[in-house]
Amino acid sequence: MKTFLLLSLLLSSLNALDAFTSSSVCQKCHPVIYNEYYHSQHRKASIFSDPIHKAVWDKHPYKKKGMYKCAKCHTPNDKVILSKLEKHEKALPVKNKGQLEGVSCVSCHNIKSIEKHARSNTNVITSNKHTLYSARESEKNNSDKKYKMQKSLFGFVTKKSGSPYHDIDFTNELFYNGNVCMGCHSHKENAHKLQVCTSKITAHPNSEKENCITCHMPKIPGSFTTLRDTKTHRFHGFSGVSHKASMLRQYIKLTYEKKPQGFDVIIYNSANHPLLLHPLRVGMLKVSIKRSNKNIALDPVKFIRIIGKDKHPAPPWVATEVLKDTQIQAKEHRVIHFNTDLEPNDELIVTLGDYLVNPKMAKKLGLNKPQFTAFRIFKEEHFNVK
């Protein structure tokens, strides 16, 4: 009976797998991954689920022109919008299934290759409608894993392998070296040839050992499917500034060093990209000294990338230059000097954090709620001064 059910699911579904396939279909057999993904920014990437994206979109000149060009990366499942944009027709987001999917399961698992372009890269999607790409070292040469059921000699035990819903191609290098992320996350250039956002990873390219996947999708306990018992799966909540930032703390080191006058705080960023990437973010270092009953707060230090025009800050579609960039770069040891002398028995408190939305921009965007504008602690260290 169970076999029959699986077989009929198989027959009815193999051809149905296309970019519209809703992530909730995958939920049946991959509930742990689906649940993590549900809370991720990828699921929430549309204007209907991300108030920050909506606020910027509402001010964007493309909205007046009626062209939701953000779809390429934010809602790649909405094929209606994408095909209209290709024909240079007007296309605005409406609250339909394709939009609400955001960056869906299939929008990543069917990326065959990445085309490099100056404005932004493009994901090339496989035309094979029932194969998904994935990585597994032990099957790296298998480009077409199909579902198989083998009965043992006496017919009591059935050995299954593969997925009854989809075939799997394990040979796509992008899924091993993290470059599958670079179709959307590499860079975005505006009409004035300014890179509004850039991960600058050409300086420290992804490697099989360390890449976007190893840090943002670590292996954690729990089986990746209900039909098999694997000990671990890759985290699909995509830890980042907005969600589960605590999972990334280990990649940033905070230390201090006493100097003849004052002391240095050293921030080491082991990521292969600047610590904060989106131009709306502002990083901040807060340092204070606890001395007997006193608390001495030192001047905070900001990390920010400001884009603008004619020496004044300007929105992404107007900006022509980078006015200032103090963001902590990839693999950088940032040394920040404080003139205050430390004394024995001081407790030095070093706090690194950020604002999701630059408070100055938040006002203009109408994003006034504390969830957008409050200072959020990313990592804090307490040192006992000797």
Nearer to ligand HEC, 28 or 116 (CB): 28
Asked if residue 222 lies in contact with residue 30, where contact means CB atoms within 8 angstroms, the answer is: no
Applying the rule CB under 6 A, the residues between 20 and 39 that interact with ligand HEC are 21, 23, 25-26, 28-30, 33-34, 37
Asked if residue 70 lies in contact with residue 57, where contact means CB atoms within 8 angstroms, the answer is: yes
Nearer to ligand HEC, 78 or 354 (CB): 354
Nearer to ligand HEC, 68 or 263 (CB): 68
Nearest position to ligand HEC, beta carbon? 240
Q: How far is the CB of 130 from ligand HEC (least distance, A)?
A: 10
CA angle 186, 105, 146 (to 5 degrees): 115
Burial of 329 (0-12, 13-18, 19+ CB in 10 A): middle
Asked if residue 286 lies in contact with residue 297, where contact means CB atoms within 8 angstroms, the answer is: yes
Applying the rule CB under 6 A, the residues between 124 and 143 that interact with ligand HEC are 132, 134-136
Tell me the number of residues near ligand HEC by CB under 6 A.
Answer: 92
Measure the CA–CA gap between 105 and 174, rounded to whole angstroms.
Answer: 16
| Residue in 293, 296, 322 with CA at minimum distance from that of residue 308 | 322
Tell me the two tokens of residue 162.
């593969």
Nearer to ligand HEC, 167 or 264 (CB): 167
Measure the CA–CA gap between 273 and 336, rounded to whole angstroms.
Answer: 20
Applying the rule CB under 6 A, the residues between 306 and 365 that interact with ligand HEC are 354
Asked if residue 181 lies in contact with residue 212, where contact means CB atoms within 8 angstroms, the answer is: yes
Q: How far is the CB of 104 from ligand HEC (least distance, A)?
A: 6
Q: Which one of residues 14, 85, 125, 245 is an interface residue with ligand HEC (CB under 6 A)? A: 245
Nearer to ligand HEC, 246 or 261 (CB): 246
Applying the rule CB under 6 A, the residues between 152 and 181 that interact with ligand HEC are 161-166, 168, 175, 178, 180-181
The type of residue at 277 is: L
Nearer to ligand HEC, 236 or 334 (CB): 236
Q: How far is the CB of 153 from ligand HEC (least distance, A)?
A: 22
Applying the rule CB under 6 A, the residues between 219 and 238 that interact with ligand HEC are 224-225, 227-228, 233-234, 236, 238
Contact call for residue 268 and ligand HEC (CB under 6 A): no
- The residue assigned the tokens 């800050």 is 313
Binding mask 76-115 for ligand HEC (x = CB under 6 A): x--------------------------x-xxxxx------
The type of residue at 71 is: A
Contact call for residue 57 and ligand HEC (CB under 6 A): yes
- The residue assigned the tokens 């504390």 is 370
Q: How far is the CB of 293 from ligand HEC (least distance, A)?
A: 33
Q: How far is the CB of 3 from ligand HEC (least distance, A)?
A: 13
Residue 91: φ, ψ to 5°: -160, 110
Nearer to ligand HEC, 195 or 340 (CB): 195
Q: Which one of residues 129, 130, 243, 291 is an interface residue with ligand HEC (CB under 6 A)? A: 243
Applying the rule CB under 6 A, the residues between 182 and 211 that interact with ligand HEC are 183-185, 188, 199, 201, 206, 210-211
Q: Which one of residues 242, 288, 326, 340 is an interface residue with ligand HEC (CB under 6 A)? A: 242
Tell me the two tokens of residue 39.
């809370």
Residues 6 or more apart whose Cβ sits within 8 Å of residue 110: 19, 125, 126, 131, 132, 133
Residues 6 or more apart whose Cβ sits within 8 Å of residue 81: 68, 71, 75, 91, 92, 93, 98, 99
Applying the rule CB under 6 A, the residues between 367 and 386 that interact with ligand HEC are 378
Measure the CA–CA gap between 68 and 47, rounded to whole angstroms.
Answer: 10
Per CB under 6 A, which region of 151-159, 244-252, 290-298, 333-341 contacts ligand HEC?
244-252
Q: Which one of residues 194, 275, 307, 328 is an interface residue with ligand HEC (CB under 6 A)? A: 275
Buried residues in 6-40 as b, exposed as e (16+ CB within 10 A): beeeeeeebeebebebebebbbebbebbbebbeeb
Q: How far is the CB of 259 from ligand HEC (least distance, A)?
A: 27
